[in-house]
Amino acid sequence: MLARTRRGPILAAATALGLTAAAGAAGATGAAAATAPAASTTARTATPVSATPLSPNRAPAAAAAQTSTLPNGDRVTVTGTGPAASVTVTAPNGKSVPFTRYAPDAHHTYIIPASAAADPANLVPAQYLVPALSTPAAPAATPFYPMVILQINALGLDGKAADAVTYLQNTDDGSKWNAPIPVVNGIARVAVPAGHYSATTGFTTNDPTGFSATQRLVTQLDFTVTAGGVTTLTADERTAASQIAPATPKPSVGGLQYLIYGRTDSKGVTGNLVVENLGSTYVAPTATAQIGTFSYQLAAWIGTNPAGSSDLYTYALGFPAADHIDADQNYPVDTSTLTTTHNTIDTDAGDPVREGEYMIGPYSPEYGGLADTQVFPIPAHLTSYVSAPVGDISWTQQVMDALPSPNSGSPSALLFGKLGGVYQGPGKEVWRTWGHGPITPQVGKFKDTAGPFSGPIQCNSCADGGTVDLGLVPIQDSNPDSYAQLLGWATAHLTVYRDGTQVFSQDNASGTELTNQAQQPGTYRLVYDQDLSQFPITQSTSTHTDITVPYTPASDPASTLPSGYVCAAQGTGTTPCSILPVLDLNYQLATDDTNTSHGPVTALDLTVGHESYGSAGSQAAATGATVSVSFDKGATWTAASVVPAGQNHFVALWKNGAAKGATPWLKVTATDALGGSISQTVDNAYTIG
């Protein structure tokens, strides 16, 4: 669970906590940060990506996750069921490992880790068939075909017999053959139905650590197994001489590769071979298929700056599918089509490790996904260059702004994410600061409609008739479209009142859905307490949030939830939901990249707004705001000087009345023209330097 090692299924682990949340897009830039120290090393790891988006305003429903141990000791975790379920594969020590996912039809899916593929003598394919990824075949008479012998000869880079695994598919009817074939000491003999076939043979050299692999893939699209005698297929590793390496403008070290092979038989049924590798991958060129169709796609390739570089950057590139494999695998990169994001990664002043992670990778609702991970000293600046997603692939990105200390006991940490698309358009340049505090619960302001795993973003607080959803994103940084996964123990309590009467109270909930609500004007009140003090952090350790929300059943066109977003309150109804006028505070605290204030005075740029989706949401004006600071843990409070700075905008100034190293508390209140109000207290909001 430490830097420079694989963390295990980070996102899947986070879903076990009831305080995680999700919701929206393009965010405000955090406060200016100081120059980060030069990165002396860049570590590379890979992170499994959960397929289940987290509910924004209530504890997430338990995903259908099943974990099984493969014969080689690796563990397969399947989230969901059927061919579209997400998969993560981890070694016993928690590191993710490269693997191949072979689904020749809807009823058979094999998961073969690189370590097993590199040792075909001990590979029994049936033991790597994962039932949770397959759909049961309809009861039917079992067909019997005349069988003939196919001999597969595998030659290595030295021209001698080599070990390999062949993924064989009958192209007349894919259901006639649906199993991988281990090739041991250069030869395999199997009985198969006569007919036309396609084969991809993988030669795998597994890294001793099990973390990465070199894979050479030889694809032969059309060959015939004839009746009578023995048909021989020779797979020569030397033909896989084309290394996958996009021509990035800056020098880059290739990391994660995500290849999708699709072979469609003459009946129109497609089998898929998905190769997820962190290492080097070489392929052999092909022509187009003569029977059925073939597709080959470098769906994602992640490259980073060379080790030792002080210029931290990442390329996340995807390319369209082709009906053949080119000999030239140096894919051109058109910089004018990329979104460039300038990431500033802040951290906690009390962080003893001063290492962080940036994670980006592909996610497919059909095949799952992985994220390539860089580990580097923080605070830091990292630039990401991202191409447009292709097909059903989307990009996910997350940041851990403080790795846990080896001596911190439970390895608690916050994993920040952006709710909305990573790709913002061709030539778009974006600036984003991660982890700039104070870290607080908010209702949020969102621009994009798609969430981090391609699912639509759900309204936190919306109403439809007598059904009312009320909830918060438990953790946001200075971006109004952010969220954070809680990797560790946290506690919280939410209480909701209607016209002064308690209607909901529950531990570890950040939202609720109320039904059969009176259809007359009234007032809701949310009181939310959150405690992160068990995390190894020194800032924003606890918050107390008290929000009053005026409610009217009358429809406000300006607050109608736009199409593309999801309203849980709507259920099966068809009328548009109304966004409730819940107040939102956006903090831009004038602290450095360790959330530390230097000098005698601290300034806060405060925006008082309302929950919004796209351009929809309450436009009611803020009528006032106050800011107070406490240097004695809330025993006494000193009012800051607050001046209006434009509509819904305020600037607060106060003296740092404590010694260096102190962590003052903040209390902010605001009101709006509708009669709504918010009061929020943040313990240890920043550090005095």
Q: pLDDT for 28-41, tens place per residue?
A: 222 222 222 233 33
**Where do we find the tokens 């094999």?**
110
Q: What is the mean pLDDT of residues 170-175?
A: 93
44 band by pLDDT with thresholds 50, 70 and 90: very low
Q: Which residue has the higher pLDDT, 405 or 103?
A: 103
Q: Who has greater pLDDT, 670 or 54?
A: 670
Closest Cα to residue 676, out of 626, 621, 639, 627? 621
How far apart are alpha carbons 275 and 295 in whole angstroms? 14
Q: Are strands 445-446 and 612-613 parallel, antiparallel or unpaired?
A: parallel
For the segment 517-538, what is each residue's pLDDT rounded down to a tens digit? 999 999 999 999 999 998 888 9
- pLDDT, tens digit (0-9, with 9 covering 90-100), for 256-310: 999 999 999 999 999 999 999 988 999 999 999 999 999 999 999 999 999 999 9
Count how many Cα atoms sit within 13 Å of the Cα of residue 1 in the half-sphere of its side chain.
Answer: 15
Q: Which residues, including other chains, have CB under 8 Å from residue 407's CB and lie 6 or more apart?
A: none
| Residue 453, pLDDT above cutoff 70 | no
Which two three-digit tokens encode residue 492?
Answer: 């919280």
Calculate the CA 345 to chain-centre distance: 17
Residue 663 pLDDT > 80, yes or no?
A: yes
Taking the CA atoms of the chain, what radius of gyration do you get in angstroms? 28
Q: What is the mean pLDDT of residues 189-203?
A: 96
Closest by CA to 284, choosing from 233, 218, 215, is 218
Per-residue pLDDT tens over the stretch 469-504:
999 999 999 999 999 988 888 899 999 999 999 999
Is a pLDDT exceeding 70 seen at residue 50? no
pLDDT score, position 4: 22
Structure tokens at 180: 């991988």
CA distances in angstroms from 47 to 277, 357, 524, listed in the order given: 12, 11, 41
Amino acid identity for residue 79 in this structure = T
| Locus of tokens 């600037």 | 651
Query: How high does pLDDT run on average in the chain?
Result: 86
Select the more confidently predicted residue: 617 or 402: 617
Q: Give the whole-number percent of the chain exceeding pLDDT 70.
A: 87
Instruction: Check residue 388 and report its DSSP letter.
Output: P
pLDDT tens-digit profile of 110-141?
Answer: 999 988 999 999 999 999 998 888 776 655 55
Question: How many Cβ atoms sit within 10 Å of the Cβ of residue 106?
Answer: 18
pLDDT in tens, 310-320: 999 999 999 99
User: In the beta sheet, which residues pair with residue 415?
Assistant: 400, 485
340 with 383: CB under 8 angstroms? yes
> Considering Cα of 98, then 71, then 101, then 454, what sign does the dihedral take?
negative
Q: Strand 380-386 vs strand 312-317: parallel, antiparallel, or unpaired?
A: parallel
The label of the residue with tokens 């959150």 reads 530
pLDDT beyond 80 at 19:
no
Helices (H), 69-132: 114-117
Q: What is the pLDDT of residue 679?
A: 98
More confident residue, 15 or 377: 377
pLDDT class of 407 with cuts at 50, 70, 90: low
Q: Which of 19-23, 372-376, 667-671 is the most confident on average?
A: 667-671
Lowest pLDDT segment from 145-159, 277-291, 365-379, 605-619 = 365-379
Instruction: Quote the pLDDT of residue 56.
Output: 34
As a whole number, mean pLDDT of residues 315-334 equals 97
Region 318-326: what's the mean pLDDT?
A: 97
Residue 581 pLDDT grade (very low, low, confident, very high; cuts 50, 70, 90): very high
pLDDT given for residue 430 in this prediction: 96
- Per-residue model confidence (pLDDT) at position 35: 26
Tokens 């089509």, located at residue? 337
* The dihedral formed by the CA atoms of 678, 684, 686 and 689, expressed in degrees to the nearest 10: 150
Residue 477: the pLDDT is 97
Region 20-35 average pLDDT: 25
Cα separation, 438 vs 543, in Å, equals: 10
Is the bond leading into 48 cis (omega within 30 degrees of zero)?
no
What DSSP designation does 141 have?
Answer: P
574/562 Cα distance (integer angstroms): 13
> Is the distance from CB of 42 to CB of 255 less than 8 angstroms?
no
The pLDDT of residue 82: 66
**Rounded distance, CA 140 to CA 136, Å?**
11
Give the type of residue at 643.
V
Report the largest interatomic distance among the alpha carbons of the chain, rounded to a whole angstrom: 93
User: In angstroms, rounded to a whole number, what is the distance separating the alpha carbons of residues 146 and 193?
Assistant: 6
